[in-house]
Structure 1
Amino acid sequence: MSQSIVLSFIALSLLIALTFSYEIPLLKRPKTPEQEKRFFKMITSIQERSRLERTYGVRLNRPYLQKFGDGQGEYIPLTDYADTQYYGSYQIGNPPQTFTGIFDTGSSNVWLPSKQCKSIACYVHDKYDSSASATYKPDGKEWEIQYGSGHCKGFFSKDMFRIGKLEVKDYTFGEATELSINFAATGFDGIAGMAMPEIAVGGVQPFFDALWQQGQVKNNVFSFYLTLKESGKSSVLLLGDSSKEYYDGELSWVPLTNGTFGRPTYWLTSFDKIETGGLLIGGAYAAIDSGTSLMAGNAEDIAYILDKVRVKPDCSDIDTLPNVDISMNGQVFTLTPKDYVMNMQGQCLAAFIPLALPKEMGRFFIFGDTFMRKYYSVFDRTNMRVGFALAKH
């Protein structure tokens, strides 16, 4: 039976791991001027639809996008795709077949395009060939995942999974036999989910859980260091630890919550308030999501924020915009205009996007890469918490 779940989308990371911990560089692929132009138009269009909804009652017809130590970890390099997508590499099979993927804290499955896929999007990505692997084992159970930016479906298989120097035998992952056209424009092949096992489609084990269970990493912790494209520094996913090399000061810890879901799902926290330009938004839940490029939240709340932080397209008023202060667990995390304004070929827009959420979810935000670039982020499964510190740039 095909199983499906609505999960978050988007872009980010790479991994590495050692018996202690491992660092993986994350990569960045620049957008072409035409791609930046389309992205700018898409975000401004969504922001304008939110304003119309609030002012004139126009419904935003868009479903929710479901989606400590001494640095002795596995370091995974990440590629930065124009400060909106960060992705890295992992391998499947023996001999290994290499793929690029988003390391996504907003979903829990690993999938990649299958050689059996005939969708147009599959032709522009590397595809897994089970017949070329000596360690392949069939599974056959069908799966389907709906992301905010498209859907994918296929069947499960088992094979050797490698990331950096770490490996998991007989790992269950998804072979995608159908991809929506949206995936043709991505700089990565697949997704490597790092959220809670409770939301994994098919009940399979997230890859970091498997690494921890098999003793591949020292601590049940991983951390992200995301850089700006002009900084010249490399983005990194560190598996099994955190490192002072990437942040200043001390980590501020925020406990996880089940929120309205009633069970562990995402890396879900709560915040006390958001303040900007005299506007105060009360407390709500927030998912810390490496797979979401921007800051997102309820359409009404984001519309109010945009009223205060909306930048002129020519960027001329960026120095007059207010800070956005987010209070979590007694600590204040500040985003300045330089943090939340995206400049694409001389065109500026505020990195806030509205979501049309079901009422039963209550107030809900997503703190994506815009937030995680400013604050080095540590994900601690042992203590069910997330730590933040000012990233070194």
Structure 2
Amino acid sequence: DSMMGSFILFGAIDPAYTTNGITWIPLSAETYWQVTMDRVTARGKPLACTHGCQAIVDTGTSRLVVPSKALSRIQAAFGTTSDGQISCSRVPLLPKIVFHIGGKPFPVPPTSYVVQEDGECILGFQGMDIPTEAGEIWILGDIFIRNYYVIFNRANNMVGLSRLP
């Protein structure tokens, strides 16, 4: 019985989706669901955000929005064109991208971060430099979110993440 699709639950946490435990991450700014991200790795090696950065967990963003320098590094590491295109046959060879947040790893597989459009495969990353006092900022949109049960806890100003079963 596979669970498909998405849902919103207000005022409670569904224990069926938190069997892998919940990692609670305090907000670093209360303007958005903003947290401190430790780093981003692939194949166990640093990929971006190597000295920490800020990330917003955002259901209103479909892609992963990353600083343009980070996007260039990701495209170079994965051998894509500058517009993010990659041969669909190479997708199974791509590594998981691991977002390290709150001292824990949150992997996202290539089946989530590669988007198929009109029979072509492209990385679901969008380069955008969002100036903040905190330096570079990422937006972890649906590509990240679809892999996790995400809990937005305004009472305690935290985001909870649990790997989906």
Calculate the TM-score normalised by the size of structure 1: 0.38
Q: Which has the higher contact order (CA 8 A, sep 6+)?
A: 2
For 2:56, the aligned partner's letter is: A
Q: Does 1:304 align with 2:93?
A: no
Q: Separation in 2 of the partners of 1:343 and 1:248?
A: 31
Distance 1:254 1:343, change over 3 A: same
* AA aligned opposite 1:276: A
* 1:327 maps to 2:100: yes
Query: Which secondary structure state, in structure 2, belongs to the residue aligned with residue 235 of structure 1?
Result: coil
Matched, 1:251 2:43: no
CA shift in 2, pair 1:344/1:246, >3 Å: farther
> What is the aligned partner in structure 2 of residue 206 from structure 1?
none
Q: CA deviation at 1:346?
A: 2.6
2:151 to 378, 381, 390: 378
Name the SS of the counterpart of 1:239 in structure 2.
coil
Deviation at 1:326, TM superposition (A): 1.1
Contiguous gaps of at least 5 residues in structure 2: none
Deviations, residues 131-159 of structure 1 (Å, cap 9, x unaligned)? xxxxxxxxxxxxxxxxxxxxxxxxxxxxx
**Deviation for aligned residue 1:279:** 3.6
Structure 1 residue 290: deviation in Å? 0.4
CA distance in 1, matches of 2:19, 2:118: 31
State, as a whole percentage, how many aligned pairs show the same letter: 30
Structure 1 stretches (4+) deviating beyond 4 angstroms? none
TM-score of the superposed pair, with normalisation by structure 2: 0.85
Instruction: Tell me by how many angstroms 1:359 deviates.
Output: 6.3
Instruction: Determine the C-alpha separation between the residues in 1 that align with 2:124 and 2:152.
Output: 23
DSSP 3-state at the match of 1:383: coil
**C-alpha displacement of 1:246:** 3.0
- Between the aligned partners of 2:100 and 2:86, the Cα distance in structure 1 is 29
Q: Does 1:269 align with 2:35?
A: yes
Counterparts in 2 of 1:390 and 1:275: CA distance versus 1, 3 Å: same
Counterparts in 2 of 1:248 and 1:342: CA distance versus 1, 3 Å: farther
Render the CA deviation track for 1:200-254: whole Å, top value 9, x for unaligned. xxxxxxxxxxxxxxxxxxxxxxxxxxxxxxx772310001111022343111111
- Superposition RMSD in Å: 2.0
8 Å Cα contact 1:341/1:351 also seen in 2: yes
Q: Which amino acid aligns with 1:233?
A: M
Write the letter of the residue equivalent to 1:297. Answer: V
* Structure-2 change in CA distance of 1:359 and 1:329 (3 Å): closer
Partner-residue secondary structure (3-state), 2:60: coil
Tell me, in whole angstroms, the C-alpha distance in 1 between the residues paired with 2:99 and 2:123: 16
Aligned-residue offset at 1:334: 0.6
CA distance in 2, matches of 1:330, 1:268: 16
- Cα separation, partners in 2 of 1:287 and 1:275, compared to 1, 3 Å: same
- Which letter does structure 1 place at the counterpart of 2:32? Y
C-alpha distance in 1 between matches for 2:47 and 2:85: 23
- Letter of the 2:67 partner, please give it: N
Whole-Å separation in 2 of the counterparts to 1:366 and 1:299:
13
Q: CA deviation at 1:330?
A: 1.2
User: Distance in 1 between the 2:157 and 2:132 partners?
Assistant: 26
Quick one: which amino acid aligns to residue 319 of structure 1?
A: P
Q: Does 1:240 align with 2:11?
A: yes
Which structure has the highest helix share of the two? 1
Q: Where does residue 286 of structure 1 map in the other structure? A: 55
Secondary structure of 1:303's match?
helix
Larger radius of gyration: 1
Q: 1:201 — aligned with what?
A: none
- For the pair 1:346 / 2:115, whether they are aligned, the reply is no
User: 1:187-198 maps to which residues of 2 (within 5 A)?
Assistant: none
Q: Which residue of 2 aligns with 1:47?
A: none
State the Cα distance separating 1:358 from its structure 2 match. Answer: 2.7
Listed as ranges, the gaps of 5+ residues in structure 1 are 1-230, 259-263
